[in-house]
Structure 1
């Protein structure tokens, strides 16, 4: 029974880590979209390129 408990705890830990990673990815994406909008509004081409490159890397 102890082996099943350990396995269950490991699986719960992995599931929690997956949820945490997705939440962080979503948060970072939202911040990048806002910064991209700001760069577009101010006409900052360099920042726009850098931020869109970072967003592309985050999405893949």
Structure 2
């Protein structure tokens, strides 16, 4: 029974970590979209390219 409890706790911990990672990824994506909008509004091509590349890497 103890082994089942350890396994269950490990799976629960992994699930929580996956939810946390997804929340962080979603939050960063939203930030990047805002920064991309600002870069476009300011005509900052360098920032736009860097941000779109970061967004591509984040989506992989």
TM-score range, shorter chain: over 0.9
Gaps of at least 5 residues in structure 1 are none
Number of paired residues? Answer: 60
Matches for 1:10-25 after TM superposition, within 5 Å: 10-25=10-25
Q: Which runs of 4+ in 1 moved over 6 A?
A: none
Q: TM-score under structure 2 normalisation?
A: 0.99
Q: TM-score under structure 1 normalisation?
A: 0.99
- Residues in 2 aligned to 1:51 and 1:11: alpha-carbon distance in whole angstroms: 34
RMSD of aligned Cα (Å): 0.3
Gaps of at least 5 residues in structure 2 are none
